[in-house]
Structure 1
Amino acid sequence: MTERSEADGRRLTTRETAERLGVKPETVYAYVSRGQLSSSRAPGGRGSTFDAAEVDALARRTGRREPAPAEPAVRTGITLIADDRYYFRGVDATALAARHAYEEVAEWLWTGELRPGIRFTAPEQAVAAARRAVGALPVHCGSTDRLRVAVVAAAAADPLRFDLSRETVLGGARSLIPALVAALPTVGGSEHGTADAGEPGASCGLAAQLWPKLTARQPDGPSLALLDTALALLIDHDLAASTLAARVAASARAHPYAVVSAGLGVLEGPLHGAASGLAHRMLAEVLERGGAAPVVADHLRAGRRVPGLGHRLYTGEDPRARTLFGLLERVPQAGPALAAARDVVATTARDVPLHANVDLALAVLSVASGMPAEAGETVFAISRTAGWIAHALEEYGERPLRMRPSGHYTGPRPPQPLPSP
């Protein structure tokens, strides 16, 4: 970024302002809401701009942080995010998800080919091992705990897991994903008339297999279509934290099951896959209290960010959220939760122009469908498994152990005396 004098009147974008202050974009808008920084609408009404002199003055008052080290660049031909849209192998991801089932989009991501009507099935041995392992867990365990254990069990049941050839990896991925779904307990003990999830020969799509693992409510066509689209939309999103962890594991030539385990470990954090659960609880509270204003006020008073809003890669609405909100309008029982989400956006937009992200859309789905708060995280984890496999396939073709950054040592300079007991 080119430095200029404070008097030149230069306007900064939200991202430039965040970089200059050494904070996240959400913090920039927090400064605005507290009156510490003023903003103006960008030309065309998309995003906000900030006066460079005012930003520099705030940086001096708050003490500007050291600039973060440059992010490592990783060559990838899987996902591109540009101009508030994202693309899978050059094709608009929202258009793919609207027209093709999750399994078909996964195949596109893995191979660059569409296979209409493909269904993933799991071998009996993998399903049995995963279910036994998950069944041994304490009852209070969450879905991500179960999925992590299921991955290990499925790996132990696959003697070919160390074969990193492309076809073997793909075959393992097509069986692992339905095995993970099968390992999850069924809510209410009924499969709603669908084939048993993940069983060999199951003819229904993955969304229909997953639905009874998330809620005891009877599924309908629009709801299953919504879940299927959500799965397809979430398959990949460039180098998110869990995907980077998966690529590091693949760089060390870990087998695909270990790659997925690495991704699941990072996904469990509240700033990644678990974010939709926070949004779920917020929407439930909005519905209980009859409006967003008191709930948003409580979040801000406690110093918490309002969940489900804003995304560092988009200046406008998250395209995944926009697609899912459009489908949610076709689900009658989603009306109250959808209205609550829009109330949250409208309430915060009075001072902080943040848009809905996919976590808020997943929260509407889970609240409206009688799912637990962690359902969005489960959908995220199952879906993103295909993305981690796609990145593993790509990384297996690169130089091994290339993802080895050098540490910037900040401790005492040697030689130091031996410590005294």
Structure 2
Amino acid sequence: MTDHSADAGRLTTREAADRLGVKPETVYAYVSRGQLASRRDPGGRGSTFDAAEVETLARRGRRDPSAGGDPTQRIRTGITLIERDRYWFRGVDAAELARRYHYEEIADWLWTGTLRPGIRFTAPPGALAAGRRAVAALPAESGSADRLRAAAIAAAVTDPVRFDLDRDAVLGSARILIPTLVDALPPAGPGGSGERDPLALRLWSRLTARPADAESLRTLDMALSLLIDHDLAASTLAVRVAASTRAHPYAAVSAGLGALDGPLHGAAGGLAHRMLAEALERGGAAPVVADHLRAGRSVPGLGHRLYRGRDPRAEALFEALGRIPAAGPALETALEVESAAARGLDLKANVDLALAVLTVASGMPADASETIFAVGRTAGWIAHALEEYGEGSLRLRPSGHYTGPRPPLPLP
């Protein structure tokens, strides 16, 4: 790709990299995660970037004084640490936890500090009935996030102690909410599963009509566990802002679901699913990767600003998917996508690409990864809400930097 002079107000890839103090391939990582928007140069010789947007990102990276007064830059948390291409839940390797224990066990341990082997989350009949009625009332074209939000609101209305923010009350609400999110979804086929089955099995039966083999079910459970938390992602920040107003846990989780609905967050897995399905249909990854790059689009499922190498969540899921014979073609194609893009962009697979392998290989719809992401992340949102309830109320109130006309001006 040849660098060249950009239009007025636009920067070339090299110029943007110099302003940000990063390598050119890192600029494309910012694009893939939605931190920068790129535009294909009319001459077809590369991408260009808005200079003002690049400068805003550079200021955030420098943590300049104008940003230093923002309380959202100083949120203390004891939940997740990310460094050296790995991440830990309360000091314990998150990938190893996911390999050893089930989602409900890890979630409950994250909240309480006590591991309870075999714990199951089950919703009371009232909450579940309300959740199912709310989901059933939605239009047929409703998306994953729509159904989950409806179920969360319905469950909240049935919980008379939802406004009690004492730790035990919040945990009681969490153990109602998570199974309601899953069991309120309509079954994907005949049969389904019972409400006393493991949560991963109940979720599986709502995402695909295919029967679940042991390895596939274990991989879905691992995905839920790996996605429990990832520091202060946009949806988690939304949860903490809601919790800082002393919104009850259902409302705080609903705030997270709203942020997750964005195409650059929870819906990113659906884009990777469609890209992977297209690559399988066309018999290889190279033409699909080329089409994305030719159109000036980032390749879904690649790159993460917190990791230099491969996302450790993708690493763990690829390992598990390698034990599922039916996932072989999708996994091989996903690795081809990573290899083909790496030649020019040096971007590694992220968790969205790994989820795409799972959902494509299991016959799930494109938005299934969003459902998996939301259900898994709800446990982390509850943990962050609990932390925020212990902080001063209304503390997450940054000051705006006014850029409008100076008063006084005449009435319009």
TM-score bin (small chain): 0.7 to 0.9
AA aligned to 1:78 is I
Q: Which residue of 1 aligns with 2:208?
A: 215
Q: Which residue of 2 aligns with 1:237?
A: 230
1:172 aligns with 2:173: yes
Q: Which residue of 2 aligns with 1:311?
A: 304
Tell me how far apart the structure 2 counterparts of residues 328 and 240 of structure 1 sit (CA, whole Å): 26
Q: Which residue of 1 aligns with 2:59?
A: 68
AA aligned to 2:378 is T
Q: How many matched pairs?
A: 376
Tell me how far apart the structure 1 counterparts of residues 321 and 89 of structure 2 sit (CA, whole Å): 23
Unaligned runs of 5+ in 1: 1-14, 38-57
1:238-278 deviations in whole A, cap 9, x for unaligned?
A: 00000000000000000000001000000011110100100
Task: Write out aligned runs for 1:339-354 (5 A).
Answer: 339-354=332-347
Task: Write out aligned runs for 1:329-340 (5 A).
Answer: 329-340=322-333
Tell me how far apart the structure 1 counterparts of residues 24 and 152 of structure 2 sit (CA, whole Å): 36
1:253 aligns with 2:243: no
Q: Which residue of 2 aligns with 1:366?
A: 359
Tell me how far apart the structure 1 counterparts of residues 126 and 281 of structure 2 sit (CA, whole Å): 45
1:328 aligns with 2:330: no
Identity within the alignment, %: 65
AA aligned to 1:254 is A
Q: Which residue of 2 aligns with 1:274?
A: 267
1:408 aligns with 2:401: yes
Deviation at 1:304, TM superposition (A): 1.0
Go from structure 1 to structure 2 and tell me whether the alpha carbon gap of 1:365 and 1:104 turns closer, same or farther (over 3 Å shift): same
Q: Which residue of 2 aligns with 1:163?
A: 164
Q: Equivalent of 2:376, from 360, 368, 383? A: 383
AA aligned to 2:134 is A
Deviation at 1:65, TM superposition (A): 2.1
Task: Write out aligned runs for 1:135-154 (5 A).
Answer: 135-154=136-155
Q: Is the contact between residue 89 and residue 112 of structure 1 (CA under 8 Å) also seen in structure 2? A: no
Deviation at 1:27, TM superposition (A): 2.7
Q: Is the contact between residue 85 and residue 306 of structure 2 (CA under 8 Å) also seen in structure 1? A: yes
Deviation at 1:114, TM superposition (A): 1.1
1:91 aligns with 2:131: no
Q: Equivalent of 2:386, from 393, 403, 406? A: 393
Q: Which residue of 1 aligns with 2:127?
A: 126
Q: Is the contact between residue 20 and residue 64 of structure 1 (CA under 8 Å) also seen in structure 2? A: no
Unaligned runs of 5+ in 2: 1-15, 32-37, 64-71
Q: Is the contact between residue 126 and residue 158 of structure 1 (CA under 8 Å) also seen in structure 2? A: yes
Q: Which residue of 2 aligns with 1:7?
A: none
Go from structure 1 to structure 2 and tell me whether the alpha carbon gap of 1:375 and 1:64 turns closer, same or farther (over 3 Å shift): closer
Deviation at 1:26, TM superposition (A): 4.0
Tell me how far apart the structure 2 counterparts of residues 122 and 63 of structure 1 sit (CA, whole Å): 46
Tell me how far apart the structure 2 counterparts of residues 273 and 146 of structure 1 sit (CA, whole Å): 14
Tell me how far apart the structure 2 counterparts of residues 130 and 367 of structure 1 sit (CA, whole Å): 28
Q: Is the contact between residue 80 and residue 230 of structure 2 (CA under 8 Å) also seen in structure 1? A: yes
Deviation at 1:336, TM superposition (A): 0.5
Tell me how far apart the structure 2 counterparts of residues 151 and 61 of structure 1 sit (CA, whole Å): 41
Q: Which residue of 2 aligns with 1:102?
A: 103
Give the match's secondary structure for 1:309: coil
Tell me how far apart the structure 2 counterparts of residues 123 and 407 of structure 1 sit (CA, whole Å): 43
Tell me how far apart the structure 1 counterparts of residues 89 and 127 of structure 2 sit (CA, whole Å): 30
Q: Is the contact between residue 21 and residue 59 of structure 1 (CA under 8 Å) also seen in structure 2? A: no
Q: Which residue of 1 aligns with 2:8?
A: none
Q: Is the contact between residue 154 and residue 179 of structure 1 (CA under 8 Å) also seen in structure 2? A: yes
Q: Is the contact between residue 30 and residue 305 of structure 2 (CA under 8 Å) also seen in structure 1? A: no
Q: Is the contact between residue 26 and residue 310 of structure 1 (CA under 8 Å) also seen in structure 2? A: no
AA aligned to 2:201 is A
Tell me how far apart the structure 2 counterparts of residues 247 and 25 of structure 1 sit (CA, whole Å): 29
Deviation at 1:190, TM superposition (A): 2.1
Deviation at 1:73, TM superposition (A): 1.7
Q: Is the contact between residue 326 and residue 361 of structure 2 (CA under 8 Å) also seen in structure 1? A: yes
Structure 1 stretches of 4+ with a deviation exceeding 4 A read 15-18, 21-24, 28-31, 33-37, 58-64
AA aligned to 1:68 is R
Deviation at 1:107, TM superposition (A): 1.2
Deviation at 1:20, TM superposition (A): 3.5
1:205 aligns with 2:193: no
CA RMSD in angstroms, aligned pairs only: 2.5
1:334-369 deviations in whole A, cap 9, x for unaligned?
A: 001001101111111111110000000000000000
Go from structure 1 to structure 2 and tell me whether the alpha carbon gap of 1:141 and 1:305 turns closer, same or farther (over 3 Å shift): same
Q: Is the contact between residue 272 and residue 352 of structure 2 (CA under 8 Å) also seen in structure 1? A: yes
Q: Which residue of 1 aligns with 2:6?
A: none
